[in-house]
A and B are shown apart, each in its own frame.
Chain A
Amino acid sequence: MNLIITYLEIIILLPVIAGVILFFLPEKYRKIKSLAALAVSLMVLYYTVKLYFSGGAPGQINLIETGFLNWLGTSYLSGSSGNFFMLNLDNLARFILLLVAFFSVLILLYSYVYMDRKNALRNYYSLILLTLWASVCTVLSDSLFMFIFFWGFLGLTLYKLIKGHDEESSAAAKKTFIMIGASDGIMILGIGILWKITGHFNISELTVRTSDAIRFCAFLALLIGSFTKAGAFPFHTWVPDFAKNAPAPSSAYLPASLDKLLGIYFLTRICNDIFILSGWIRLVILILGGLTIIIAVMMALIQHNYKKLLGYHAVSQVGYMVTGIGLGSVLGLVGGLFHMVNHALYKSGLFLASGCIESKTGTDKLEKLGGLSRQMPITFICSLIFALSISGVPPLNGFASKWIIYQGIIDFGKGTGMANHLWIVWLSMAVIGSALTLASFIKFISGIFLGRSRTGLKKVKEVSWMMWTPMLILALICTGFGIFASKWIIPALFEPVTGSVTFIGVWDSSFISLLIAVSIILGISFYLIFSMGRFRTDESFIGGETNRRDVGFEPTSFYETIRNFGILKPLYGWAERKYFDIYDVSKIITLKISHLFSAAHNGILSNLAFWVLAGLIFMFIFLLI
């Protein structure tokens, strides 16, 4: 037990101390800062691994009684407030901690080269370590009071991790900050309601039935918090803008991995630990999950900017996790959590790849790229693995988790509620979302890596090993998680968190992967045996026309047919004018209302005197009653 507390103290204190020290180091020692941050994150990873394997019963640890906070004394913060510093160390928390530390290490390794340029983000390493610290504390906090403190702090670091160098990126940073901040405000309201109803702040002490309106409101408030952080419909609109403007490691670190881990972690907590959900709430969650999948992927399909495309996918995939967790069964929970991990793996990988491409070519437009597969082979192979993973191509990991979610949906269909009868709707939304994901990643892969190379990109070279190593690690884990999913990964990593799970289908991932490997080896040997020496390279045949470099069919125009398809055409038009963006809509409403009130302030003295008098009369009447 004492050992666990020592680990916890290191995990909690080390990043914040290092982060603050690095904050005061000048920017010219960037390399040293980078290495120091990497060392700290490696140490945190080491101790989270130790913590993960330390065993011991899951439970609460009070830092005031046992930890480094015992100088505060119980008398100083007496009563229930002593629970403020309670830590919740169950298997879910340990697992999320491990992942948080793992992604921090990878991102810091990548940043060593990527962030080493003239006008890079200031205090980047310090902010990454502080984000790590806040995430760790968020996951460990048992008290909702401490939880919301660190959760809010993450919004701040997220805001600082975009470089506001022009109007667009400043607007994106502001949008992110306002949306995250507003959702935090709504969460505080929800926590307040919970405290009013139950008198508790601690997750471990709360069990609330969503039976009446006030409890439902509390649930909704917390749900909005988790949806905004994870980026689920309709609170997702900050994610694509952030992804477009932030540096690639920032996108890979926060919206792609940590925000998903934390948002889905909190969703799991509120759905399983704090509240007992009724059938109608499940229906609402499933509808939102399905809409998240479809709407975001439809938007991703028409993007010309690959970072924004990835940003929309970072939203779309959340739909699967929300659907899985919203099902409420062990199968759904395993599927949702597994998909969360997989998403963090391949999406941060894709963002890192986008960073490699951007740093080497200097553009983030698909139209200006093409044919990079020969110049950047490692980036290409890793991106291809990530793209096929996210599209759910077996035997990669994206398929494994989607397969579990689909089973969860079919299993859910055996029930009798309203939401259960609509299982085909949830299933078809999930599957068509997966087909559309494939479509937009075909565009991503072919637009950047395949096709004919552009004249301006002849000198592009592969990135340095410190940039491709994290991608390669992620790609290997993606493949490994897929191949060993049903036999090893689920029992070893997820069953301790969720309890034992029975699949209703069968998928022998390892053996079938072996069969695929056998087929591929056979195929390659066929090439070697039958056509070695009979390869010839020649120009393409285009129906007898001359093969001009400027003539081609661009991947960006692949889906014009879908864009112009019946009802979708006006919908896309409205979406591009941001009619469905909750931020822009509420911005318009707020500005309209404030204009209404500003009409009163026209600077004429008699009018002002009138308003003062009217206010006084109003207050007088109010106090009288």
Chain B
Amino acid sequence: MYKDLLYYLIFPGFIFISVAGAFLSWFDRKITAWVQFRKGPPVLQPFYDFFKLLLVKETILPAGGSRLTFLMAPVFALAGASVSGILIMLPALGLKSGFSGDIIVIFYMLAIPSVTYMIGALAAGNPMASVGASREMKLIISYELTFLLIVAAIILKADMSIKVQDIILAQVEKGPFIGSLSGILLFVAFVFCMQAKLGLVPFDMAEAETEITHGSFIEYSGTAYAFIRLTKYMMLFILPAFLCIILLGGFRTDGIHLLWTVMKMIGVVLLITLIRNTNPRVRIDQAMRFFFIWMNLLVIAAIVLIYFGL
């Protein structure tokens, strides 16, 4: 019980994921700077940002909104991110503990941050935030089906097993799932889903800075916004980690394999950073069409290929 709580709060849970996510966020910003011929922030910049918000800045509450809901939403977002993170990291590192969740639980847990962002945004009582929340919801509807089909394809590849350990074991036996034609298609679709889940360009319409001034988060400041930033850092670690587990063969931490694990994570983050820096933002109806039609077709093609053993 106490060991499980330590797992959850320190390693490989909350603290570890946030620190790793903060570094990944620095990496993302540094690459972005290089792409734009800038110098970029120092390594500790994400921490400066977070602690400034947490300790220094005042928290401004919207006069026309539901304040308690507005304040509690980021806390729930953080809780959802932490739980999905621990459920992914425990089997990834092969740690035995008193609790676990299967891939469906992780699928649902990963949706909690987006749901709470929306509720928080709607509680703010700002029309811009409402626009952001409505776009976020439509985006969730769009990518959720693709994401589920990817998960179903993984279950099919892992011989109908939904436990994360079994999915990793199946990849240890047969090689990572990405090493097949269907695996490559699933990888492509997953990267786009991840882009949408993280709210990065081209699917950042829910928080479009230039258009609706950070949409869902327009009213957040101070401690509440610090929680949101922290959740964003964590999600930047959790989703690539989930991708590594279900398609890239999982994590190994013994000897030289540790380097490989880090390389995998950095590679995935590099990929999403490059996508976000080389694409324009799409409209919400374009995003819906993109996921509903093209991405779903891609994943269905992958599922058909799995039935043929490819």
Would you call B130 and A555 a contact (CB within 8 A)? Answer: yes
- CB of A427 to closest CB in B, whole Å: 6
User: Of all chain B residues, which has the CB nearest A516?
Assistant: B79
Given A446-B133, A520-B76, A547-B64, A541 and B126 contact (CB-CB distance below 8 Å):
yes
- CB of A380 to closest CB in B, whole Å: 8
Let me know if B204 is at the binding interface, CB within 8 A.
no
Contacts of A393 in B (CB 8 A): 108, 111-112, 115
Let me know if B49 is at the binding interface, CB within 8 A.
no
Given A373-B66, A428-B145, A561-B285, A540 and B119 contact (CB-CB distance below 8 Å):
no
Contacts of A535 in B (CB 8 A): 58-61
Would you call B108 and A399 a contact (CB within 8 A)? Answer: yes
Would you call A540 and B79 a contact (CB within 8 A)? Answer: no
Given A410-B155, A505-B162, A553-B134, A450 and B63 contact (CB-CB distance below 8 Å):
no
Would you call A450 and B162 a contact (CB within 8 A)? Answer: no
CA distance A424 to B304 in the complex (A): 11
Given A403-B105, A512-B101, A531-B58, A541 and B69 contact (CB-CB distance below 8 Å):
no
User: Of all chain B residues, which has the CB nearest A508?
Assistant: B99
CA distance A302 to B210 in the complex (A): 29
Let me know if A442 is at the binding interface, CB within 8 A.
yes
CA distance A552 to B122 in the complex (A): 12
Interface members, chain B 63-85 (any A CB < 8 Å): 63-69, 71-72, 74-76, 78-80, 82-83
User: Of all chain A residues, which has the CB nearest B69?
Assistant: A373
User: Of all chain A residues, which has the CB nearest B152?
Assistant: A424
Let me know if A519 is at the binding interface, CB within 8 A.
yes
- CB of A329 to closest CB in B, whole Å: 14
Contacts of A391 in B (CB 8 A): 115
Given A427-B148, A438-B140, A439-B140, A537 and B102 contact (CB-CB distance below 8 Å):
no
Counting chain A residues whose Cβ lies within 8 A of the other chain, the interface size class is: 35 or more
Contacts of B138 in A (CB 8 A): 439, 558-559, 561-562
Let me know if A374 is at the binding interface, CB within 8 A.
yes
- CB of B131 to closest CB in A, whole Å: 5
Contacts of B288 in A (CB 8 A): 561-562, 565
Let me know if A156 is at the binding interface, CB within 8 A.
no
- CB of B193 to closest CB in A, whole Å: 13
Would you call B58 and A536 a contact (CB within 8 A)? Answer: yes
Contacts of A554 in B (CB 8 A): 130
Given A393-B115, A507-B105, A558 and B137 contact (CB-CB distance below 8 Å):
yes
Let me know if B100 is at the binding interface, CB within 8 A.
yes
Would you call A432 and B58 a contact (CB within 8 A)? Answer: no
Given A515-B8, A538-B63, A435 and B86 contact (CB-CB distance below 8 Å):
no
- CB of A563 to closest CB in B, whole Å: 11
CA distance A438 to B112 in the complex (A): 11
Let me know if A431 is at the binding interface, CB within 8 A.
yes
Would you call B223 and A449 a contact (CB within 8 A)? Answer: no
A-B contact sample (11 more), CB < 8 A, given A403-B105, A508-B98: A391-B115, A393-B108, A393-B111, A414-B160, A432-B141, A450-B125, A520-B75, A534-B59, A536-B61, A551-B127, A558-B137
Q: List 12 A-B contacts (CB under 8 A).
A: A371-B65, A424-B156, A432-B141, A439-B140, A446-B122, A512-B99, A530-B54, A540-B219, A541-B219, A558-B133, A558-B138, A566-B289
Which 3 pairs between the two chains have the least Cβ-Cβ distance? Answer: A523-B75, A505-B102, A519-B79
